[in-house]
Chains A and B, each alone.
Chain A
Amino acid sequence: MTRNQFISSLPRNLFAGFVVSLIALPLGLSLAVASGMPATAGIVSAVVGGLVVALLGGSYVTISGPGYSLVVVLLTAVTTLGEGDLFLGYTHTLAAIALAGILITLLGILRMGKLAEFFPASAIEGMLAAIGLSLLVKQFPIMLGLEAGSGNPFIKLIKLPYVVAEFVQSVPVSASSAAAGLIGIVSLIILLFNSSIRNRYYQQIPSPMWVILLAVGYSYYYQLRGEANPIRSDLFIQLPDSVQSMIYRPNFELINSWGLWSIAITIAVIGSVESLLSIKAVDNLDPQRRRSNANKDLRALGVATAISGFLGGLNVVTVISRSSVNVTQQASNRSSNFFHGIFLLLFILFFSKLLNRVPLSALAAILVYTGYKLAHPLKLVAAAKVGKEQLLILVATSLITLSTNIITGIFLGTLITLLSHFVITRKPLLFLLHLFQPNVLAFKEKDTGSYYISVKYFCSFLNLFKLKSKLDAIGATKTVVIDFSLCEFVDHSAMQTVENYIASFEKKGGTVSTIGLDLHGASSSHPFAVRSLATESALGSIEKLFSRRQENLSKMSKEYGWKYAAKNQPLDPSLYRFLFFETKPIVQVYNTLVDPVSNGVVQDIVFNEGEFIARESAKVTVLTIKLESSIPSFVLDKEGLLDRLNAIAGYGDLMVEGHHYFNRKFHLSGSQPDKIRKLFSKELIFLIESSPIYLIESSGDELLILKKDRLLSPTEVKALVYFGRELIETLACNSISSNREISN
């Protein structure tokens, strides 16, 4: 970006930063209070995060600040590390945050930007749901103006109705609690129904800020009327008057204890995972489709976390919701993150008196809403749609997280996912044998310049990073075909990742398509469902559960009036009349597509390379066309693979006069040289030269056309059908003109 572009984009980024700071302010305050820290701690971390990550980071439109994933961990740390003394616990926790900052920086230096990829998608969802649930149950009583109480989030969840009953009972008794609870409930309603309010002016201000405005307005209402605010003073935020008194120093007395380090490690790992997931998600939102440097961003977040810890703030992560607001406000570079920090600093310097009028119940409502969104019941439905095993993984992970801690939860969730893969494939050795082996081959196909990636053995969260590193090393403007036909098992995380690549390549003008998945059994009809070759019976049948390629083929067929059938077809013996299949026993024929215009039939064919050959069967997509009038039989191919077979029969390479390029590039042979030479008219040669083919064979009254020596992607199938039509048309013109010659 040139300096001029940067300067001209500044006003837009300044405004985006301002809007984001309006959300960051209430969120920062509430996250800090929920973590058992002074309310300003959240603002400190957002200010430090905004300034440091904007200067040192490697992403473009992300916003950094305090995150929700570690609230419960921090609260436990504050209460346990100080052994009852909350202030002492707070300073010890600051030490853990500072240490975590150093650890995160190390992760960034060690290029662990792919850390988040080693956790299966459903386990992460389960962990987030558990975090949301514990936030919700913890903050729910506070939202109603009651004591938070402590204990297991499970029991609290069951006791939620009692909390409501307690609130109802307290209304007539305590005016303070009733008023605080009322503000909490109204705030929650505003947040819940924010999106259904369609007023342009109302939507200018983000909903958390409306909550703050409402709370402040309530307090002014009583002040103007000269009455005392009914809410007790200890139910308000307590902000210090001066900047100095907002800053606290960490206490490193416990640096030799495991307790402190275990918290530091939890913050580092979970914070990094949260940030990396957000960075990836925000990259998909960026209208300019830039790719963030995750390692550089991780280093910056680490430095920011360490500084924040030293100044009394929460840990700093990349936050998805604030970043997406940033994108919708048309931020274009990191300066908006910087401005968001500056605005927060100004707010806290000049408006801290005003913020003191906000009751805690309003802030709690913001967190109840956040927790509700994370643990939304629809997430269970979504997981169940992908497959029963995904639902199991999600629920198990969140139950374990709730009853133990985040780190145990995510690791056991990962283990459960792995076990589910063992059960689905019934082949644990498949994973154990090939875990540390490379399994991805990628190369540029010379004839078309597109990339071909083949994946072997299995593809799951365990080795997904290998496939990703190959995809990352290809510009998103290119054409990529991923072939899973040698891969026995593809898991949900891999399918989801591939889908993300398909979307991001599409937006940049490239394409990614998958082939070789059509014969895999799937656990549901969802595009991200687990797919396995090993157990078709255990998973659903392929005819009902289409792969993405089959879905595209079927859509294409509807669009162009072709007839498509996915299921296995009885073998057409006429295929063996082609030299290509002469020595190749056909095992299976499926994905049949009929084009009524050319009478062409596109099929996927599985065949062996010859009887008694102990080699794996191969798959190709072929087009066969029955001809109305017969033509001489011939073989035309690029590599002369069938030459030998023909040579045995006594036919050599035929040369067509005047077409040097054609003669050099293609091998043509057949039993009637003169008729064949006549058949290969200028028009036909022009057609064949101009579109890449692998083989054309004529058996007299039928044509066999191969575009590539492998399965074809839907786009390639389309090209194949088109080529078939053109070929038939050219042949028809030929025969008309030759008939004319005869009659003349």
Chain B
Amino acid sequence: MNQSLHQHNPFKRMLFGFAFSPSLESNLHEVVRLTEFFGSELILLHVGEKTEEKQRKIDSIVAATSAPSRVQELHWIPGDPYTTLLNSTKDLSIDLLVLGAMQHESLFRFYVGSVARKLTRSVKCSVLLLIKPAVERVACKHVVVSGFKTPSLPNTLFEGFYAAQCLGANKATIVEEIANKTVKVSVDDDRSLLRNLRRKRVLEAEEDRRVTELIDKLPRALTSSINVQKQAIFGKRGYSIGHYAEVTRADLLVMDAPAKTSVLSRIITQDVEFILSDLPSDLLICRTK
């Protein structure tokens, strides 16, 4: 990848916490490949004691990847996976935490929550959840980015387009989710329907303009070879974009980090929780540091 692109890299230090599971090999291949694309350095972390055998195993897998030199550090820290990973992102000044994730969560998991999900909520850096690591490269073609209006949206667009550009995607769709509440006209009969549609057109145009302005401000290197489209969707925030990514078969979904989450938010599912419980694709959650 070229230098002009990598100078913008927001993910300079990537952390991958690994366990010795059957998917370790494919996970590592995928992560090393990502660091290559992003031009980043990779820090590996195992939560547990270091043993000769484990060291040998991990060395052999790293050596088989496409760019073993990307692996800069290897840490062995015993302790609770959640707190260890959480603290490490701070201690090792990590920009992007990469985690393997389950695509669908069971009822139990949904309410109790997996480590991956807990981390997604609480870490202070961006998180990339991988649902389909592969030893061989699968092309990333279509990236869906949330264009929802938040203070951190410029950062989200920046990180999203950086990832899309590095992964060689040719199409990015900015989804502007518009809550039905903001339409303010409920449909009762034909007359209210007309008012409702008129109002929606105005909102759609406003959203389009807002997002276009933000994209124009991004460095040219990030947007040049990508076909950018905008799609306004009226519906539940956080849900519609996941469903959209699923029906359009996106390869990567980029979203803002949720502002705050509580136990209540899991009972009344909202925002990013919808997507976490039913991942449509790989998911990048962007946080401004």
A291 touches B247 (CB 8 A): no
**B129 CB, min distance to chain A CBs, angstroms:** 13
A644 CB contact (under 8 Å) in B168, B192, B240, B249: B168
Q: Which of A291, A440, A613 contacts B134 (CB under 8 A)?
A: A613
Those of B183-238 within 8 Å (CB) of chain A: 186-190, 192-194, 196-197, 227, 229, 231-236
For the complex formed, measure the closest distance between the CB of B105 and the CB atoms of chain A, giving whole angstroms.
9
Report how far A111 CA is from B189 CA in the complex, Å: 13
A629 within 8 A of B: no
Who on chain B is nearest to A667 by CB?
A: B170
Q: Would you call A296 an interface residue if the criterion is a C-beta within 8 Å of the partner chain's C-beta atoms? A: yes
CB 8 Å contact bits of A423-461 with B (1 = contact, 0 = none): 000000100110011101111101000001010100000
Among the 9-residue stretches A586-594, A635-643, A681-689, the one with 4 or more Cβ atoms under 8 Å from chain B is A635-643
B residues 159-200 touching A (CB-CB < 8 Å): 168, 170-171, 186-190, 192-194, 196-197
Question: Contact at A613–B247, with CB atoms within 8 Å?
Answer: no
Please name all residues of chain B whose beta carbon is closer than 8 Å to the beta carbon of A441 when the two chains form the complex: 233, 235, 239-240, 243-244, 247
**In the assembled complex, A473 has its CB within 8 A of some CB on chain B:** yes
Residues from chain B with a CB closer than 8 A to the CB of A560 are none
**Interface status of A475 (Cβ within 8 A of chain B):** yes
Contact, CB under 8 Å: A613 / B103: no
Indicate if B142 sits at the interface (CB-CB under 8 A).
yes
Chain B minimum-CB-distance residue to A441 = B243
B87 interfacial contact with A, CB 8 Å? no
CB of B197 within 8 A of CB of A442, answer no
A710 on the interface (CB 8 Å rule)? yes
Q: Are A433 and B243 in contact (CB under 8 A)?
A: no
Complex Cα–Cα for A473 and B200 (A): 10
Contact B187 A472 (CB under 8 A): yes
Q: Which chain B residue has the least Cβ–Cβ distance from A443?
A: B233
| B189/A645 in contact, CB under 8 A | no
Is A216 interfacial (CB 8 A cutoff)?
no
How many angstroms between the C-alpha atoms of A56 and B189 in the bound complex?
15
The reply to whether B247 and A710 form a contact with Cβ atoms under 8 Å apart is yes
Q: Is A614 a contact of B197 with CB atoms below 8 Å?
A: no
Q: Least Cβ distance of B170 to chain A in Å?
A: 5
Cβ–Cβ contact B139 & A644, under 8 A: yes
> Which residues of A sit under 8 angstroms from B234, Cβ to Cβ?
442-443, 473
- Distance, CA A618 to CA B249, complexed state (A): 8
Nearest chain A residue, comparing its CB with the CB of B138: A610
A429 to B139 alpha-carbon distance, docked (Å): 35
Q: Is the Cβ of B107 less than 8 Å from the Cβ of A454?
A: no
Please tell me if B93 contacts chain A, counting CB pairs below 8 Å. no
Q: How far is A60 from B240 in the complex, measured between Cα atoms in Å?
A: 35
A612 on interface, CB distance cutoff 8 Å: yes
Given A429-B107, A442-B234, A473-B187: A486 in contact with B247 (beta carbons within 8 A): yes
Please name all residues of chain A whose beta carbon is closer than 8 Å to the beta carbon of B190 when the two chains form the complex.
290-291
The answer to the question of A740 belonging to the interface, with a C-beta cut-off of 8 Å to chain B, is no
The one of A438, A472, A610, A641 in contact with B236, judged by C-beta atoms closer than 8 angstroms, is: A438
Interface residues of A in 248-306 (CB under 8 A from B): 290-296
| Nearest A residue (CB) for B131 | A614
Please tell me which one of the listed residues A429, A432, A446 contacts residue B231 in the complex, with CB atoms under 8 A apart. A446
**Cβ of A4 to closest chain B Cβ, rounded Å:** 20
**Contact in complex: A641, B168 (CB < 8 Å):** no
A643's partner among B134, B170, B186, B194 (CB-CB below 8 A) is B170
User: Which chain B residue has the least Cβ–Cβ distance from A432?
Assistant: B107
Q: Which of A294, A433, A443, A609 contacts B249 (CB 8 A)?
A: A609
CB pair B236–A483 under 8 Å, yes or no, is no
Chain A interface size, as a band, is 35 or more
A446 — which chain B residues lie within 8 A by C-beta? Answer: 229, 231
**A614 near B132: Cβ-Cβ < 8 Å:** yes
Q: Find A483's partner among B239, B247, B249 (CB 8 Å cutoff).
A: B247
Residues of A within 8 A of B236 (CB): 438
Residue of B142, B188, B194, B244 near A641 (CB, 8 A) is B142
In the complex, whether B6 has a CB less than 8 A from a CB of chain A is no
Interface assignment of B8: CB less than 8 Å from any CB of chain A: no
Chain A nearest CB from B182 CB (Å) reads 14
How far apart sit A560 and B234, CA to CA, in the bound complex (Å)?
A: 39
A440–B132 Cα distance when bound, in Å, is 25
Q: Roughly how many angstroms separate A452 CA and B248 CA in the complex, as a whole number?
A: 11
Q: Cβ of B141 < 8 Å from any Cβ of A?
A: yes
A486 to B269, CA, bound (A): 20
B193 engages A615 (CB within 8 Å):
no
Chain B proximity mask over A460-489: 1 for CB below 8 Å, otherwise 0: 000000000110110100000001001000
Tell me whether A293 and B107 are in contact in the complex, defined as CB-CB below 8 angstroms, given that A645-B139, A709-B249 are known contacts: no
A615 with B132: in contact, given A437-B269, A438-B239 (CB under 8 Å)? yes
Contact indicator B193/A291 (Cβ below 8 Å)? yes
| A58 interface residue per 8 A CB criterion | yes
Q: Smallest distance from the beta carbon of B110 to chain A beta carbons, Å?
A: 7
Chain B residue nearest to A609 (CB atoms) is B249
Are A443 and B244 touching (Cβ within 8 A)? Answer: yes
**Beta-carbon contacts under 8 Å, B58-75 to A:** none
Which residues of A from 176 to 197 have beta carbons under 8 Å from B? none
Residues of chain B lying within 8 A (CB to CB) of residue A641: 141-142, 170-171
A328 to B104, CA, bound (A): 54
Of B26, B131, B189, B281, most A-chain CB atoms within 10 Å:
B189
Knowing A442-B234, A615-B132, the reply to whether A454 touches B247 (Cβ < 8 A) is yes
Mark out the residues of chain A between 601 and 628 whose CB falls within 8 Å of any chain B CB in the assembled complex: 609-610, 612-616, 618
B residues in contact with A113, CB < 8 Å = 188
A618 to B248, CA, bound (A): 10
Beta-carbon contacts under 8 Å, B72-124 to A: 103, 107, 110
- Does B274 reach chain A (CB closer than 8 Å)? yes
For A456, give the chain B residue with the smallest CB separation: B243
Q: Is the CB of A614 within 8 A of B103?
A: yes
Decide if B240 touches A294 in the complex (CB within 8 Å).
no
Q: B243 and A454: CB pair below 8 A?
A: yes
Neighbour of A293 across the interface among B103, B189, B232, B248, CB < 8 A: B189
B250 to chain A, nearest CB (A): 10
A640 engages B193 (CB within 8 Å): no
Residue on B nearest A644 in the bound complex, by CB = B139
Cα separation A616 to B246 with both chains bound (whole Å): 9
Contacts of A473 in B (CB 8 A): 187, 193, 196-197, 234
- Nearest CB in chain B to that of A113: its residue: B188
With a CB–CB cut-off of 8 A, which chain B residues contact A440? 235
Assembly CA distance A295 to B235 (angstroms): 22
Name which residue of chain B comes closest to A483, CB basis.
B247
Closest chain-A Cβ to B43's Cβ sits at a distance in Å of 26
- In the complex, what residues of A have CB within 8 A of residue B269's CB? 436-437
Nearest-Cβ distance from residue B263 to partner chain A, whole angstroms: 16
Residues of B within 8 A of A483 (CB): 247
Mark interface residues in A22-37 (1 if CB within 8 Å of B CB, else 0): 0000000000000000
If the complex has contacts A293-B188, A644-B168, are A472 and B131 also in contact, measured as CB distance less than 8 A?
no
A456 proximity list for chain B (CB < 8 A): 243, 246
Residues of B contacting A436 in the complex (Cβ-Cβ under 8 angstroms): 268-269
Contact A58 B243 (CB under 8 A): no
Q: Given that A438-B239, A443-B233, A644-B139 are known contacts, is A486 also in contact with B246, CB under 8 Å in the complex?
A: yes
Contact of A640 with B188 at beta-carbon distance under 8 Å, contacts A441-B243, A615-B281 already known: no
A111 contact set on B, CB distance < 8 A: 186
Do A433 and B142 have beta carbons less than 8 Å apart?
A: no
Q: B235 touching A438 by the CB < 8 A rule?
A: yes
Most buried by B among A58, A441, A454: A441
A639/B227 in contact, CB under 8 A = yes
Q: Give 6 CB contacts A-B under 8 Å.
A: A293-B192, A429-B107, A438-B235, A442-B234, A443-B244, A446-B229
Chain A residues proximal to chain B, CB less than 8 Å: 58, 111, 113, 290-296, 429, 432-433, 436-438, 440-444, 446, 452, 454, 456, 469-470, 472-473, 475, 483, 486, 583, 609-610, 612-616, 618, 639-641, 643-645, 709-710
Q: A441-B233, A486-B247, A615-B281 are in contact. List 5 more A-B contacts (CB 8 A).
A: A440-B235, A473-B197, A613-B132, A645-B139, A710-B247
Which 4 A/B pairs are nearest by Cβ-Cβ distance?
Answer: A441-B243, A293-B188, A293-B189, A438-B236
